[in-house]
Amino acid sequence: MAELFDNYRDNYRDVVQSSIDFSGLSHSFFMRAKADLLRELIAGRLGAEKPAMLDVGCGVGSLHPMLRGIVGRLSGIDVSLESILQARADNPDGDYRAFDGNSFPFDDASFDLVTAICVLHHVAPTARGRLVNEMRRVARPGGLVCIIEHNPFNPLTRLAVARCEFDRDAILLGAGNARRLLAGSGLRETGASHFLLLPWATKPARRIEGALSKIPLGAQYAAFGTA
């Protein structure tokens, strides 16, 4: 996997954009929706002001500029060294480290918020439990672990994945599967919320999405649990 994403250091955003061009939406629209969802989760489930965050499988750090002011100390790890180098160049205020695919380079209970955003579909199903266990290990007591993934029940999501060069071997997982992984690692109060149902960022659209978040209609979902 490291070699695969090393090749996309310079054009990652362009490749993603080409896979979603049919929607008429920009890559930044989807990034902003994720940032907004994380803001809501932090306020509703964590309560910490500007929590210390670890982004597992952070890639080139495309989301991180949108998290300024939402989180405090921001760290990212990835198996792709080239992606880490690009993330450092684009986000000099972040702490980016290479990841060997097994153990995270951080001590136990180091972060308030630990995320894996569109990562697990690249991980073999037999290895996902180990990754989530590591996420749980570095989360502080009372901290939040959050998985954001593509919704396999959304046909447009499946089309976007099929069109993406580096998603050709992806194995999608539903919200129920993600919640079972979180519970299996010992996390409490697990939940899930679907989003990206409507192609607008207006407040009315967000309210409608919020009302329908328990129904697996949105293009993506967040599954989360408390350490």
CB-based contacts of 207, cutoff 8 Å, min separation 6: none
Domain-by-domain residue ranges, the chain?
2-226
Place of tokens 């180990």: 130
Residues in CB range of 97: below 8 A, 6 or more apart:
75, 76, 77, 84, 105
* pLDDT at residue 103 in the model: 93
* φ, ψ for residue 39, nearest 5 deg: -60, -45
User: What pLDDT does 89 receive?
Assistant: 96
Question: Chain-wide mean pLDDT for the chain?
Answer: 90
Question: pLDDT at position 214, please?
Answer: 84
pLDDT of amino acid 15: 67
| pLDDT over 70 (residue 8) | no
Tally the residues of the chain: 227
Domain made up of 2-226: CATH architecture: 3-Layer(aba) Sandwich (3.40)
Please give the structure tokens belonging to residue 197.
């149902």
Q: Which residue has the tokens 């809501």?
A: 40
pTM, entire model: 0.92
Residue type, 32: R
Q: What Å distances lie between residue 23 and 16, 197, 198, CA to CA?
A: 12, 12, 11
* Average of per-residue pLDDT across 128-139: 98
Question: Per mean pLDDT, which range of 71-75, 129-133, 167-171, 173-177 is the poorest?
Answer: 167-171
